A and B are shown apart, each in its own frame.
Chain A
Amino acid sequence: MKDALSRKARLSTAIAVAAVAVLSWLYAAAPAGAAAPASDLSGMWWANSYSPSMKTYLVGGGDIPLNDAGKKKYAEIQAGLKDGSITDRSRKYCTPDGLPRSLATPYPFQIIDAPPGHISWVYEQNRMIRGIAMDKPLDSDEKLSVIPFWNGHSAGHWEGDTLVIESGGFNESTFADATGLPHSDQLKTTERVRKINGGKQLEDIITIHDPVYYARDWQARFVYDNHDGLRMMDYICGEPHRDISHIKGINEARAANAARAPAR
């Protein structure tokens, strides 16, 4: 039984990896414009669609590969969110979304090639900051566990025109998506980020490794449009924010939230 599951898991992983490879080839081959400049992702980026469920972004389709512990935890979180015994602090108090949830933000974010030795991701939503140390390995698990971060600790390097970001050292205060998908403090992620479509878009494919709650690694893919020239705005929890009603899927998400109010 275990071997069968293992074979199934390996097969699923292989399918997902193949899907990423095909997608990557398609996007690399598709643009007719000028090639994106290598090693510079600086700019303002903004998704044009939003889904509360990570399943929407899952590479290869199908279901999120929760293991038994993951299914149990997911059910507990969803029940807790429904009866109010669990708070979605990222929406109630606007604490950071963590990974991979923050990648689904329907608000703009900025990538800044600074300070020296770092690349910084600055989000409008929840005023999140990700400081990515470049060209140095991620700290050891032992060191990362001393002070776990909401958005994890990140280290990056370039592989051609792709920024590879490895993250670990997450706390367990966030969900993997807005539906309450779980992750543990053993979560590790690898993101491959690059410009596509001649630099008009940014692609971030994240690999989720969390053996506590998932039967195998899985990947989610996010695409953002370039909005250079757009200025960031204040984002204060509970105050009016910029109009994002044009983001596909946002009105449906808000309607669903309103039906579940109050926030918790």
Chain B
Amino acid sequence: MQRALQPVRESAMAECFPFRRNWLAASVAAGALGFSAVAGLALAADEPAPRLPSGVPDFSSNNMGWASDGIEFFPVPGEKFVPITSDPAHPYCGNRILPKCGNQNLPPIGDTANPILQPWAAAEMKRTNAAILGGKEAFEAMGRCWPGGVPGMMLFTAEPAYFLQTPKEVTILYSRGPNIRHVYMNVPHSKNPAPSWLGESVGHYEGDELVIDTIGLNDKTFIDFYHTPHTTQLHVVERYKLINGGKRMQGIATIEDPGAFTTKWSALHYYIKHDLPIADSESICAENNDANYFNADQAPIPQTKTPDF
């Protein structure tokens, strides 16, 4: 599977909602709308957050899951370098912010002038942007039922994600897909892990934060929905923290990739609680997406020619 530009339907957000669960999409979008007014302006003020009996912060959601607040990264306040945002000449307007941007869907066109991009990365994004503006739609992993990579998975949790905390492992179950991340706690990385879609993640707690360090990522995914590319040298450190008394969660990703970026940079994202216990949450991306809807020239979803067994 190549990451090269391939025509795909519009938004990754829309792709993986099985039709019968549009209520879920609607409720997530509604929640996101309400919260987006404050998201990104400043890190939320801390209130006491719930903790597990062991004393570590309790991300396990109390019968709820965490849903992404939109699909964009925000700048981390005070940071010099910021994540890719919308090209000022082509402002993005998606379902989440439709009322604020004229109620007309406009595709994500990334700002290739962002100084974090190496020339080849900017050039690749320009090609992608041109294709999108020309009426095509670019490949997006999660939109076509491939894992979203890291930090991409941080953005595309429109359907709830669940943090399963045990002393040796934090397992993050993303209903959407589904996708599963295994974070091995308090151990070092292995030497030269083979590149994979979600990489190798190790973690630990630092005070109120769950810190996840990930390497060993393949280069088939994008950093974000602006199609920011990366290489297999990508190194991501995520810091998750409960805010507002555990009602919301913030995640800050620090991103290094000497193959794609000129500098280390950071990005902020927020999550809202979604009232759906894990036992009631199943969303199979391939359920409806194998068809080529509207005769769009879409990238194929994962499939076999010969059954595995």
Binding site for B on A (CB under 8 A): 42, 50, 52, 88-89, 91-96, 106, 110, 112-118, 120, 122, 125, 127-129, 131-133, 147, 149-151, 153-155, 173, 178, 231-234, 236-239, 241, 244, 250, 253-254, 257-258, 261-263
Known: A114-B60, A117-B63, A232-B180. A133 touches B304 (CB 8 A): no
| Residues B304 and A94 in contact, CB atoms below 8 Å apart | yes
- Which listed residue, A89, A153, A238, touches B279 by the CB 8 Å rule? A153
Count how many chain B residues have C-beta atoms less than 8 Å from C-beta atoms of the other chain: 46
Is B305's beta carbon under 8 Å from chain A?
A: yes
Contact mask B143-173 → A, CB, 8 Å, 1/0? Answer: 0001100000000000000111110010101
Known: A237-B302, A244-B309, A254-B309. A96 touches B284 (CB 8 A): yes
- Which of B63, B171, B180, B197 is the most central at the interface, judged by chain A CB atoms within 10 Å of its CB? B180
Known: A118-B278, A122-B173, A238-B302. A91 touches B60 (CB 8 A): no
Residue of A nearest to B218 (CB): A234
> 22 interchain pairs (CB within 8 A)?
A50-B309, A89-B286, A91-B307, A94-B303, A114-B164, A115-B61, A115-B63, A115-B162, A115-B278, A117-B63, A118-B277, A120-B162, A125-B308, A127-B179, A131-B280, A131-B281, A149-B282, A150-B282, A150-B287, A232-B182, A254-B308, A263-B304
Known: A112-B166, A238-B304. A133 touches B277 (CB 8 A): yes
Is B184's beta carbon under 8 Å from chain A?
A: yes
- Which listed residue, B60, B178, B198, B307, touches A257 by the CB 8 Å rule? B307
- Distance in angstroms from B123 CB to nearest chain A CB is 28
Task: Kindly list chain A residues whose C-beta atoms are within 8 Å of the C-beta of B279.
Answer: 118, 131-133, 153-155
Is B232's beta carbon under 8 Å from chain A?
A: no
- B263-302 with Cβ < 8 A to chain A: 277-282, 284, 286-287, 290, 301-302
Task: Kindly list chain B residues whose C-beta atoms are within 8 Å of the C-beta of A254.
Answer: 308-309
For the complex of A and B, list the 8 residue pairs with the smallest distance between their C-beta atoms, beginning with the closest: A131-B278, A237-B302, A91-B307, A133-B279, A114-B164, A115-B60, A93-B286, A131-B279
Task: Kindly list chain B residues whose C-beta atoms are within 8 Å of the C-beta of A238.
Answer: 302-305
Task: Kindly list chain A residues whose C-beta atoms are within 8 Å of the C-beta of B287.
Answer: 95, 150, 173
Task: Kindly list chain B residues whose C-beta atoms are within 8 Å of the C-beta of A96.
Answer: 282, 284
| Residues B302 and A94 in contact, CB atoms below 8 Å apart | yes
Known: A112-B166, A113-B166, A127-B180. A236 touches B146 (CB 8 A): yes
Task: Kindly list chain A residues whose C-beta atoms are within 8 Å of the C-beta of B301.
Answer: 93, 237
| Residues A106 and B309 in contact, CB atoms below 8 Å apart | yes
Binding site for A on B (CB under 8 A): 1, 20-21, 60-63, 146-147, 162-166, 169, 171, 173, 175, 177-180, 182, 184, 196-198, 277-282, 284, 286-287, 290, 301-309
- Which listed residue, B178, B290, B305, touches A93 by the CB 8 Å rule? B290
| Residues A115 and B163 in contact, CB atoms below 8 Å apart | yes
| Residues A236 and B305 in contact, CB atoms below 8 Å apart | no
Known: A93-B302, A236-B146. A114 touches B309 (CB 8 A): no
* Bound complex: CA A257 to CA B305 (Å): 10
Task: Kindly list chain A residues whose C-beta atoms are within 8 Å of the C-beta of B278.
Answer: 115, 118, 120, 129, 131
Task: Kindly list chain B residues whose C-beta atoms are within 8 Å of the C-beta of A154.
Answer: 279
Residue of B nearest to A156 (CB): B279
| Residues B303 and A129 in contact, CB atoms below 8 Å apart | no
- Distance in angstroms from A236 CB to nearest chain B CB is 5
Task: Kindly list chain B residues whose C-beta atoms are within 8 Å of the C-beta of A233.
Answer: 196
Known: A94-B286, A231-B182. A262 touches B163 (CB 8 A): no
- Which listed residue, A91, A106, A122, A133, touches B180 by the CB 8 Å rule? A122
| Residues A263 and B286 in contact, CB atoms below 8 Å apart | no
| Residues B309 and A253 in contact, CB atoms below 8 Å apart | yes
- Which of B163, B302, B304 is the most central at the interface, judged by chain A CB atoms within 10 Å of its CB? B304
Task: Kindly list chain B residues whose C-beta atoms are within 8 Å of the C-beta of A89.
Answer: 286
* Bound complex: CA A93 to CA B166 (Å): 31
Known: A92-B304, A116-B60, A261-B305. A231 touches B184 (CB 8 A): yes
- Which listed residue, B147, B173, B286, touches A129 by the CB 8 Å rule? B173
Task: Kindly list chain A residues whose C-beta atoms are within 8 Å of the C-beta of B307.
Answer: 88, 91-92, 257, 263
* Bound complex: CA A117 to CA B284 (Å): 23
Residue of A nearest to B282 (CB): A149
